[in-house]
Amino acid sequence: MLRRYFLVCCFAAIPAIAAAADDIVVIVSQKTAVNKMSRDEVINIFLGRNRQLPSGVTALPLDLPSTSPEREQFYSRLTGKSMSEINAYWARLIFSGRASPPSMVHSQEEAMQMVADNRSAMGYVARSKVAPSVKIIFELHPE
């Protein structure tokens, strides 16, 4: 019983730890023909270099809110840059209008929903939030 309690306690602590240590995965809709993407392809899409999937479908990247720790972890693990750097990057591009940042969703669940619903949509969530309606095409492990 005591042992179970200890486990419960441990599990109870998991969500917080998991949020920090959990894999961030890039997801697309199960309907999308793409199964796997490289890091550069993910960067190109999320940082505005191009918005096309390898299948030729226009991609629609989704960003978590700026307060979301997953967003920070995503960019940090993907490009090695902090959020302020990413913001400065976008500030230069926004001025010319040639490229635009990904569209913002309110939560991981919304992201899950929009990806599952839209073939072009492409988002990132913690692995624990992944539902069967999406496909993981790229994984970012904790460092």
Which residues of this chain interact with another protein, rule CB under 8 A?
40, 43, 47-49, 79-81, 89, 92-93, 95-99
Residue-by-residue DSSP string for 23-53:
PEEEEEETTSS-----HHHHHHHHTTS--B-
C-alpha–C-alpha distance, residues 142 and 85, integer Å: 20
Q: Smallest distance from the beta carbon of 125 to another protein, in angstroms? A: 22
- The residue among 80 and 132 lying less far from another protein, judged by its C-beta, is 80
- The answer to whether the beta carbons of residues 31 and 119 sit under 8 Å apart is yes
Q: Smallest distance from the beta carbon of 5 to another protein, in angstroms? A: 47
- The residue among 4 and 92 lying less far from another protein, judged by its C-beta, is 92
- The residue among 48 and 102 lying less far from another protein, judged by its C-beta, is 48
- The residue among 93 and 136 lying less far from another protein, judged by its C-beta, is 93
Q: Smallest distance from the beta carbon of 79 to another protein, in angstroms? A: 5
- If we measure between CA atoms, which residue out of 103, 105, 90 comes closest to residue 49? 90
- The residue among 19 and 93 lying less far from another protein, judged by its C-beta, is 93
Q: Smallest distance from the beta carbon of 74 to another protein, in angstroms? A: 13
- If we measure between CA atoms, which residue out of 135, 111, 108 comes closest to residue 19? 108
Query: 140 is written with which tokens?
Result: 């970012």
C-alpha–C-alpha distance, residues 108 and 72, integer Å: 13
Q: Smallest distance from the beta carbon of 92 to another protein, in angstroms? A: 5
